[in-house]
Amino acid sequence: MALDFSRVLREGVEGIRNEVAARLSSLATSAPFWLSQRIFLEALLLLCEATMDFAARYAALARAMAQEAQDPIRQTELLRIAEICDCVPAKPARNFWEACQSFWFLQLIPQIEANGFSITPGRFDQYMYPFYRADVDAGRLTPAEAQELLECLWIKFSEISRVDDRGMAEINAGYASGQNLCIGGKTASGRDGTNELSYMCLAANAHLQLPQPNFTLRLHRDTPQELLDVAVRVIARGNGMPQFLNDELIIPALLNKAIPLHEAREYIPVGCDEITVLGMWGRCNGGYVNLAKALELALNNSRCRLTGDPVGLAPSSGREFCSFAELMEAVSRQIDYAVDCVIADANATDLVHADIAPLPFESLLVPGCIETCRDVTHGGARYNFTGPVGVGSATVGDSLAAVKKFVFDEKCLSLAALNEILDADFAGHEVWRQRFINSAPKFGNDEDSVDELVVSVTNRFFDRVETGQNPRGGGMMPALYSVTAHVGAGKHVGATPDGRNARAPLSDGLSPTYGRDMKGPTAALRSVAKVDLVRAPNGIIVNQRLAPGLLATEVGCLKMTQLLRCFVEAGGFHWQFNVVPTAVLLAAQEHPDQYRDLVIRVAGYSAFFVDLSRAAQDAIIQRSAPVL
């Protein structure tokens, strides 16, 4: 979620406490929900006091440490810290240092209160810039001093570490905490928002090379060339950040969800690249739909190819279809059934969440909750969405293209024979496996015949998701990413007609299947842009690796900025890159102790490579490395 940090910087927690107290005093005791509203507002008042007490404890500790400090410079620093913690976040921030400290308290508390996941700093360069500019103009702070404060804050982001169980670790391999800090992009008035702090954030990322904060650069047609130049040089450093989002597509996508234009322009990526605005709340990871499993069940009489157990929707035509259109309809019906199951699960989860784990601190900083006197989990936010996620779209598209070519167009393979090959996981059928891989069209090469199949599958997924409603009075907002769920989900899918072996990873997000995009990143971009991305503001992830030598020259860096301009014009949603050589990744697998500081891009986030499971490491190594 995105919290309204800027309001606390302007008004302080005391200002918010005053609003809560006024709302409490205005409640009519005869109102039907008076008791629950009163309890909620009283909880917020307690949290305001607790937040200020939390900062006061830091002030007291800093003073105690100052008394024991031997170094006079450090003693002065500690006394300054104590003075700052006396002020913020209780009162409005008066300078850049206070703004950074106030922000950090507010970022830290949700991690403590609720094991916070993907609490995003949001448009950091926008709401922090006035404090920086005022200090520098007044001579209270030099740019170098501000950079040091910024980089100290960067280090704090990486101190937050989550521990997940095995199942979650497969989905979120190496995932720290999803603190997505965003720079650039359009302002509410439609102008470019780039400022000096935008460049300082890029410098902090380049200097420290840590996996957190997750770091996003919003692009649009008027993004300054200088910002692109610097961003590309930062990417060349190797930790996979920043990732890129396209204002020209995402803002219209939010308008289609009835978000006002000035709010849509201020959109904020959370976690990986799920899109939100201030006042929006909901589970962006609202459950994963395994699209490749839907294809398997359609082909295999609704039985799991791995276990033989009946799974999914009851079949209507067994393992035989008279036409490719009949097969597509069977796949579509399995997708519908899977989406319905995920929506039911998401709604049950939301109801339990609201009942046993409300989030009063987050509610304090999500616009709408104080006005409605309702917790975010009870629908108090101004906008409420849940985000089911489709996984394996390129695996399905490539598989359908192979079935269409060999079974229905060329008629050189029957469906029965195809199922025998898949049941055997290609054992004794390597010739057919190679034909599936090398002779059928693949998503990511700008070939309409296969790209249109991915569009058809994703449109059906979008259609069904958009029919859903959640218990908080909102709708469902689809996404096409996988974090690393394509690895875990692949373990539950048998062999597929694209030549993929049983239990192998599925395609990654909306990225082409590893190694199958043979015509370079521009063709891959064109394929991805054919999908109706405007319907999926809950997030799209496209991963690509670049040959490291590409960004070693000025010409290569210029080509990269031109490619990013093409990304904006072509209607891409999200793009991110790894530039680490394959040899380095292989060496890190064999000698992890020598590569503890190696940070790579996993999905919509970065992580220390050696912290990933072997399966996740292998999946990253398999990504193609096109040369421009």
List, for residues 64-98, the tens digit of each pLDDT value.
Answer: 999 999 999 999 999 999 999 999 999 999 999 99
pLDDT band, residue 628 (cuts 50/70/90): very low
272 is catalytic: yes
φ and ψ at 293, to 5 degrees? -70, -35
Highest mean pLDDT among 52-66, 513-527, 609-623 belongs to 52-66
Residue 624, pLDDT above cutoff 80 = no
For residues 209 and 11, the model is more confident at 11
Q: For residues 179 and 121, is the Cβ–Cβ distance under 8 A?
A: yes
For residues 152 and 162, the model is more confident at 152
Structure confidence at residue 172 (pLDDT): 64
For residue range 492-533, what is the model confidence (pLDDT) as tens digits?
A: 999 999 999 999 999 999 999 988 988 988 899 999 999 999
Catalytic annotation, pick one of 263, 266, 274, 296: 274
Distance CA 272, CA 308 (A): 36
Highest mean pLDDT among 31-35, 144-148, 612-616 belongs to 144-148
Averaged pLDDT for residues 40-60: 98
> What's the alpha-carbon Rg for the chain, to the nearest Å?
26
Averaged pLDDT for residues 33-40: 96
Residue 303, pLDDT above cutoff 90 = yes
pLDDT band, residue 625 (cuts 50/70/90): low
Closest CA to 278 of 266, 293, 286: 266
pTM equals 0.93
Average per-residue pLDDT in the chain?
93
φ and ψ at 618, to 5 degrees? -60, -40
Taking the chain, what is the end-to-end CA distance rounded to the nearest angstrom? Answer: 37
Averaged pLDDT for residues 96-124: 92
How many angstroms from the chain centroid is the CA of residue 177?
Answer: 11
Catalytic annotation, pick one of 48, 272, 284, 373: 272
Half-sphere exposure of residue 301, counting CA atoms within 13 Å on the CB side?
A: 9
- Residue 115: count of CB within 10 angstroms of its CB: 11
Burial of 189 per CB tally in 10 Å (0-12, 13-18, 19+)? exposed
Q: For residues 603 and 272, is the Cβ–Cβ distance under 8 A?
A: yes
Distance CA 234, CA 482 (A): 25
Closest CA to 285 of 593, 622, 604: 604
